[in-house]
Amino acid sequence: MSISQETRNIALKAAGAAVIAIAATHLYQSLEGIVKKGLVDDPEQVGKLAMPDAQTKYEATDEDPFAYDFIIIGGGTAGSVLASRLSERPDFKVLLLEAGSSGIALPISKVPAAYGQIMRSKHDWHLHTTPQAGCNNRELFWTRVYPSLTALNDTWTSDPFLGSSSNAMMFHYGAASDYDEWASATDEPECKEWAFDQFHQYFQKFETFHPHPDFPVDESKRGKQGPVQVSFLTTYGGVDCKLTRC
């Protein structure tokens, strides 16, 4: 699928799950009160004043509460997990930034089945792909309610809240051929680790898979001790069962 340059530029500016690691970044505390923890809607509440008053004095200390070891741009699936893992180290200070608001006050952001109501709303980037030859030259709506892609009919969804499209609580492995294609994109040795046979170990690491009798899979390929519980739906219609046989 091709994406227009304008769409690509907007997506890049949104910072997806790009990560910038900045060691020992010192942000000095002003005399004015600044939110230290939790979610904030105003980015000016984080860090220091760009144009401090002439009377303002700063005093840097080894315990500066606004010094960050890592600043992560993008609070989608990857960024949120990375921030969580890094913050497990008590000696690391981590700042996670995401576009838009936190979404905590939005009721539909708390109900996984209601994720579709966020699409095409004011919380969406309203992006479109270029005409797709394989889709009768249609321009597909690329819902970007900020970071991470999930295909849904004519929609590509990615949400502007912390957690991104993972808030819908849906998960599936990508096609093995896609990962293998990434691995063969260059001759750099590091890229070979993207091959599915090597990369799928990280899927196994994050999940605990619960098998379903109606949807048999090779359980040796699935994780058994990860933090995320994964399974098939407990209830489904007859059409779902027939589609799995296609």
What percent of the chain stands above pLDDT 70? 56
- The answer to whether the pTM exceeds 0.85 is no
172-220 pLDDT tens trace? 778 899 999 989 988 888 888 899 999 889 889 889 999 988 888 889 8
The gap from C-alpha 44 to its chain's centroid, in whole angstroms, comes to 23
Percent helix, strand and coil across the chain, each to the nearest 5: 30, 15, 50
Calpha distance 101→167 (Å, rounded): 15
> What pLDDT is recorded for position 195?
93
- All structural domains of the chain, each given as residue ranges with its CATH number in brackets, are 5-10+107-168 (no CATH), 176-243 (1.10.1220.110)
Cβ proximity of 4 and 129 under 8 Å: yes
The full DSSP string for 7-35 is: HHHHHHHTTTT-EE--TTEE-PPPSS---
